[in-house]
Each structure stands twice: as C-alpha cells, then as structure tokens.
Amino acid sequence: MFSLFSASSPLHPHAQNLHPVSEAFQPSELYGPLQPKDTEWTCPGGFAVETQIFYNFLEDGTSLMCQVIHSAVGVWYPTIQFTCKIYNPNTKEKIWKSVNVTNFTTPPPGLDKRSAKADQFSITYKSKPGSDEPEGYTLTANLDNDLQITLNIVRAVAAPGFKIGSGPNGGFSYFGHDPKHADGYVIHRFWPRQTATGLLVHKGHATPVKGPGMFVHAIQGMRPNLVAARWNFAHFQSQAHGGVSAIQMEFTTTNDYGKKGAGSGFVSVNVGSVVLGGKLAAVTAETKWPGEEQPESAAVVSRAAHTKTIHDPDTGYDAPTELAFRWAAPSIVADAQGPVDASVVVDVGNLDAPKGLIEKVDVLAEIPYVIKTMVNYVARTKPYIYQWLNPAKLSVSLPTGLIEGVSDKVEIDGTLYVETSFIS
C-alpha cells in the first residue's frame, strides 16, 4: 500500500504531502460502518506498528488497559507484545506488565483474522448477528505467575463500531504527495462503547471485572517518529442515562508533512465520537492547519487543547496542567436529528501536586531493544507519555430523543482517562 522510499520525485517540493482523513469526507459522511476486514490483523511489514487495545473502567474506578502490539522494524522479525496496565485510583496501586509473546498466530485454527493467539494470550472474536449484543471478544492472558486476566467483552447493537468515512479508504490519513503511492498512513477503527465482565487474578487475589470501555484497532504504516510529534487521547465513560461515552484521538504531524510540503507541518488530525443514551450519536473529525483559524461555530468540531501548561524538567516538554476536549457534529440517530455538542475540561494539577497522574512513561524504557535502537539512534527522539485518570463532567447540548427526558442540555458525571504523548 505504501513505499517508505519512493522512487519518483514529487511534482513540486511544496505540494501538499499530508492527506488527512478529516478532510476526505463531508460532515454527513463521517460515520463509516466497520466491515469484517476492518478489524482483521494485517501484520504489515516494513516499518509499521499495528495494535488492538481494550480500555475499561471497573465499578470501583480502576482503569484497565490490555493491548497487543505487532511491531515490524525494517528487515527484522516482527516483535509482538502483550501489555497490560491496571491502576486503582483509591489505593494508588499500579500493575504494569509488558511481555514479548511467543508463537503469535492469526487466524487461530477455525477462526478469522479478527482473532489472534500466542502462548501467553488469546483474543477470540465472536459474532451474534441480530442480537442486542451482536459482537464481542473473549480475552484471556497469563502474563506472569502473578497475573491472569479473563474478559468477556461485548458491544451493544445501538453503539456500532466505526471509522471515519465509508469504503476502502475510510479511516486512512495518507503521508506523501500521492495517496495512491503514499509514504505511509495512519488508520483507527473504534468501538466507542463496550462492556467487559470477567476476572483479574493478581498474586492470588481475584478481582471481579465489570464496567464500560472502548476498543480501538490502529495501524501506523510508517516509522513512528515520522508519523507524529504529538498525540492526544481522551476516553470518557459514564453509566448514566443508559450509557455515555466520548472518545477522541489526535495526532500532530512532524514538520515534514503538511499543506505545502516539508516545513509546513505540525498539522493536527483529530477524530472522535459521542455515545448518548447508549446510542452512537455523533462522529467527529477535524484538521487544524497551522496559521488557519478554527471557527467555534463550525458544523463539525473535534478538538483537543492544552489550555494550561508548565515546563517539565524531567521530560523537557511543556506538560499540560489543564486540558479541554470538544466534539460537535450532526446527530446520526435517525429519529433524533439536530446538532450534538459535547465538551469536557480536566484539571490535572501541576508538577508538585498532580491530580490523577498515573504515570509519566519513558517510552524508550518500555519498548523492545530493536525498536529502541531505531527510535533513539536513528530518530534521536525522547518520547514520553503522560497518563491521567480523573472524575470528570461532560457538558452536552443535544436534540430531543437521544437521552430520555432530556431535550436541550445536560451535564454527565463520569470517568476520564487522558494520554498526552510527546515524541519529538
């Protein structure tokens, strides 16, 4: 699909060399229903990272993340990791496991490529067409002698999975002058709201799992240091009003990719969605081009902002102390037409007194050696990820019919997980 080293020269060095998915579809076309192939493992070669991630919140407020990462680094053999992070905000206990798995295979015998297994885990896709819960996954992982995980994950029929835009090009942002012969690409496919039940066993102690979350299948078909200089991710869930979620994923390109070729970068590409009353209500996508204003009254808004920052000498970056996220788009629910507008602001404290900070992750300390070598010595980057978990309030304006008994505005209490990544 793409070539890292194109043999042909661009027509003009200042021609556009970023083609974001957020510019490819009209506001009425942003919702792209997922096809079975969309969440199949592709296991790309070259320089590429493919991942499936399940994020969930437990009833006691604990955050649970399970992730499979398939990393291809040039001519080296792919590295497949299973990572898991569990954080209890009440006890401040943090469990982190990252295991290089063995004997990874997809599809497992008798299944399609939406399922995968290795010696340390299995993820099995299951389908029940026509039911209230038409699809889901069963996840089991034995990551160490002291940590075992069993999850049953289901998606409700009213909250379907999506990508930005329909068809084979739906979801893709392309890097390079010619999208048909791109330097690389980024794609995300989401389940904006799912429910997990199951069991965590840590050091012999069993903890029941029950709570809402999201699922994402993503591919960076390019060296990670070339894709983005920054990432922002927001994941809000609430059990109120029949189920509410608001998710957002944003990357900001390096200076090499933009509207006028190299040197016109630092373009922010943002995609997201809002679930209200248990129904997928709106899908959002927006591009922030440097030097161009984004009107507050735009028909579609999908924005992340570091509204307050402070220089962090530990990392060398200007870390946010307050973040704001906003989603706005026409409702995609047939019998509840009108604009949907949602926003959340979260105070994450300062360096001396952080609020909800799970961890500042030194990425180079966590990734496999061959990838670390490529990132650190070839790219000369110093990537860090800030992770926060906080109670939050989602403010929503909505049309009648999305939430029973609500016809204008509502504030919804829930839980917000935020990641901010600095790559270079």
Domains in the chain and their CATH numbers?
18-422 (2.40.370.10)
Listed in sequence order, the residues at least 6 apart from 355 whose beta carbon sits closer than 8 Å to its beta carbon are 347, 348, 349, 388, 390
pLDDT tens digits, 112-166 = 999 999 999 999 999 999 999 999 999 999 998 899 999 999 999 999 999 999 9
- What is the spatial distance between Cα 187 and Cα 174, in angstroms, rounded to a whole number? 9
Segment 217-239, tens digit of pLDDT? 999 998 878 899 999 999 999 99
Cβ neighbours around 104 below 10 Å, total: 21
pLDDT confidence of residue 223:
83
pLDDT tens-place string over residues 376-392: 545 567 889 999 999 99
The span from the CA of 293 to the CA of 298, in Å, is: 11
Q: What is the pLDDT of residues 355-375, one digit of tens each?
A: 999 999 988 777 655 455 445
Between residues 273 and 1, the one the model is more confident about: 273
DSSP-derived letter for residue 403 is B
Cα-based distances in Å from 164 to 156, 196, 232, 282: 20, 25, 17, 11
User: How many whole angstroms separate alpha carbon 61 and alpha carbon 39?
Assistant: 28
Q: Which residues, in sequence order, are bridge partners of residue 357?
A: 388
| pLDDT (0 to 100) of residue 367 | 63
Give pLDDT, residue 266: 98
Half-sphere exposure of 322 (CA within 13 A, CB side): 6
Average pLDDT on 180-191 reads 96
